[in-house]
Amino acid sequence: MTFSFTTLGTASALPTVERYPSAHILTVRERFFLIDCGEGTQIQLKRAGISFTRIDNIFISHVHGDHIFGLPGLLSTMSLMGRTAPVFIYGPSAFKPYLDFFISYLGDGIAFPVNFTPVSYKEPSMLVEFNNVEIFAFPLRHKIETYGYFFREKEPALNIRKEKIEAYNLTYYEMARLKEGRNVEREDCVLQVEELTYKPYEPRCFAYCSDTMPFAKLADWLCELSQYRKLDLLYHEATYDASDKELARKHFHSTAADAAECALKCHAGKLVLGHYSSRYRNTDKILEDARAVFPETYCAKEGDVFDIPVSRLL
């Protein structure tokens, strides 16, 4: 039951020889979600061994070039590869004119539907759901309208404790009701869900916090979305180190320490940093600043994969 985060690009506005603009893949049970699509995304997908045909859903945080300039090329290549299945894109409403321009003037020959869903929320809200995962969007605080995304596995169906099947001579009907979380009444007793079933694993969750300056509500929202359990993995921008805190505020960005404070407050299991300013040749100071606040911090590099293991409950 794969649940992993692959970093394709860790640069901020200016890419470097070693850093590509923002793009990431979240894999949930063999379904691939692309989050942001900066320039060079196609190359990085190929390097990561991720098939373009496996990507059906794309989430755009905001309409700054380092997060969207890779999308026209990616859609064009998908068309050249003979794709016919639709692509679903989610992002701020300001992204639609850009998408329409490409489709109308530069997208000749695209043979598949491109469906756009505008994101416009003032607080965390359900955006879309699939068989095993729910996806929420929440506003961030940047120069322009910007959103983060929260991916949460759905609660698994309950399992019947094997030793109870024979002990209670359970029928198929009774087991089906118990797995739905419903007690079953017999003439002489009531079969209790709590005694006869168990939850096989704890649902996992991941939060993506793109360009944003720190604000008090963010950690509270992440706690609510994780249903006050551990947030398994938090990706948070860390454009600047502590020495450039004033620059971070001026440009509506976060420092590494800001990201770490958020991780601490929302009870994250692990913090992954990215979106580094080109002024830093390496991320040593960024990592040092963050780990002073939140030790379980990692600075992402292009191609890094962060797995979220499943926690079995029995």
Q: What is the pLDDT of residues 43-65, one digit of tens each?
A: 999 999 999 999 999 999 999 99
With b for 16 or more beta-carbon neighbours within 10 A and e for fewer, the 17-26 pattern comes to eebbbbbbbb
pLDDT digits (tens, 9 = 90+) for 127-137: 999 999 999 99
Q: What is the pLDDT of residue 314?
A: 59
The string of DSSP codes covering 88-149 is EEEEETTHHHHHHHIIIII-TT--S-EEEEEE--SS-EEEEE-SSEEEEEEE--SSS--EEE
Q: What is the pLDDT of residue 311?
A: 79
Rg (CA), the chain: 22
233 token code pair: 């993995």
User: Catalytic site residues?
Assistant: 66
The CA–CA distances, whole Å, from 94 to 8, 73, 138 equal 24, 19, 16
With b for 16 or more beta-carbon neighbours within 10 A and e for fewer, the 120-141 pattern comes to eeeebeebeeeeebbbbbbbbe
pLDDT digits (tens, 9 = 90+) for 190-226: 999 998 899 898 999 999 999 999 999 999 999 999 9
Domain boundaries, the chain: 3-156+199-312, 157-198
Write down the residue that tokens 């509500």 correspond to. Answer: 217
**How many Å apart are CA 12 and CA 228, to the nearest integer?**
31
Q: What is the pLDDT of residue 26?
A: 98
Query: 3-156+199-312 adopts what CATH topology?
Result: Metallo-beta-lactamase; Chain A (3.60.15)
Residues of the chain where predicted confidence (pLDDT) is lower than 50: none
Q: What is the mean pLDDT of the chain?
A: 95
Q: What is the pLDDT of residue 240?
A: 98
3 state DSSP class of 48: helix
Q: What is the pLDDT of residue 157?
A: 87
